[in-house]
Structure 1
Amino acid sequence: MSSSETEGPDADRYSVEPEDTRRSPALIATAVALPVAMIVAVLAIAVFARQHPTREPLALGSVPQPQATGQACTTLLPALPSSLGDYTRADLARPAPPATVGWQLPDGGDPVVLRCGLDRPAEFVKSAALQVINGVNWFEVRDPASGITSGTWYVVDRGTYIAVTMPDKAGPTPLQDISNTVAKVLPARPIDPAPIPN
Structure 2
Amino acid sequence: MPTRLSPPVAIAIALPLLLAVTVAAIAITARVRGIGEPPPPDTGPLAVAPVESPDASSPECTALLAALPEQLDGPDSPLSPRPIAQAESLPGVRAWAASPRPVVLRCGLPRPAELSPTSPLLEVNGVRWLQLDDGLPEPVQVSYIAVDRPVYVALTLPVDAGSAPLQHVSDVVRETLPATAVAVR
Q: TM-score, normalised by structure 2?
A: 0.71
Distance in 2 (alpha carbons) for counterparts of 1:54 and 1:165: 16
One-letter amino acid matched to 2:70? S
2:156 is equivalent to residue 156 of structure 1: no
Once the two structures are TM-superposed, the CA of residue 54 in structure 1 deviates from its matched residue by 7.3
Aligned residue type for 2:68: L
Aligned to 1:55: 43
Deviation at 1:114, TM superposition (A): 0.2
1:130 aligns with 2:121: yes
Aligned pair in 2 of structure 1 residues 92, 191: CA closer, same or farther (>3 Å)?
A: same
CA distance in 2, matches of 1:53, 1:66: 30
Q: List gaps (5 residues or longer) in structure 2.
A: 1-39
**8 Å contact from structure 2 (residues 41, 97) kept in 1:** no
Q: 1:89/1:129 Cα in 2 relative to 1: closer, same or farther (>3 Å)?
A: same
How does 1:85-104 map onto structure 2 within 5 Å?
85=73, 86-95=78-87, 96-104=89-97
Amino acid at match of 2:83: D
Question: 1:58-101, CA deviations, whole angstroms, 9 ceiling, x for partnerless residues?
Answer: 11010000011112101100100111223111111125521100
1:72 pairs with 2:63: no
Q: Given the superposition, is the C-alpha separation of residues 111 and 53 from structure 1 closer, same or farther in structure 2, using an over 3 Å criterion? A: closer
Larger radius of gyration: 1
Q: What is the Cα-based RMSD across aligned positions, in Å?
A: 1.9
**Matched residue, 1:23:** none
Structure 1 runs not aligned, ≥5 long: 1-51
Tell whether 2:180 aligns with 1:189: yes
Moved more, 52-61 or 117-126: 52-61
Letter matched to residue 170 of structure 2: S
Q: 1:119 to 1:53 in 2, by over 3 A?
A: closer
Shift of residue 185, structure 1, vs aligned partner = 1.1
- Residues 1:109 and 1:53: Cα distance change in structure 2 (over 3 Å): closer
Q: Verify the 8 A CA contact 2:45 2:83 in the aligned structure 1.
A: yes
Quote how far apart the aligned CAs of 1:145 are. 4.1
Deviations 1:108-136 (A, max 9, x none): 64100000000011101110000110000
* Equivalent AA in structure 1 for residue 60 of structure 2: A
- The separation in 2 between residues aligned to 1:124 and 1:113, in whole angstroms, is 20
Cα distance in 2 between the residues matched to 1:192 and 1:87: 32
| CA offsets 1:120-155 (integer angstroms, 9 cap, x no match) | 111011100001100000001125544331111100
- The number of aligned residues is 141
1:133-191 deviations in whole A, cap 9, x for unaligned? Answer: 00000001125544331111100011110001100111000110001011111110111
Cα separation, 2, equivalents of 1:53 and 1:154: 24
